[in-house]
Amino acid sequence: MKPFKVKINARAFLDIEEITNWYNEQIPNLGVRFQKNLRLQINTLRYNSYSYSVRYDDIRCMLVKKFPFLIHYSIDEANQIVNVYSIIHTSRNPKTWRQKITKPK
């Protein structure tokens, strides 16, 4: 099976930037560690995107290791693409991803 492509939505990039900045304000370079960890995990979705269960509609969630955030994504099987929509803190209502982004049709 060939690996999926991973596309990160513009809203997810904003989430990553906001989270990184917040962590860097708390402890120097903690945001850099967050980004590195997040990048590694998102890249694993290329090969094991089906490992995480569907939580809402067709949205799957992956917990970020060592950080309290969920990666919200869906799988476009026909085009072999994993679409990452948002990165949301685990204390928030996970359905807020719907309010933050507009999924492509």
Predicted confidence (pLDDT) per residue in 43-86, tens digit: 999 999 999 989 888 899 999 999 999 999 999 999 999 999 99
Please name every residue paired with 75 in a beta bridge, in sequence order, or none if there are none.
82
Mind giving me the DSSP string for 13-32?
HHHHHHHHHHHHHHSTTHHH
In this predicted structure, the answer to whether residue 1 has a pLDDT above a threshold of 90 is no
Predicted confidence (pLDDT) per residue in 86-96, tens digit: 999 888 766 66
Predicted confidence (pLDDT) per residue in 6-37, tens digit: 999 999 999 999 999 999 999 999 999 999 99
Domains of the chain: residue spans and CATH: 5-100 (3.30.2310.20)
pLDDT at 55: 87
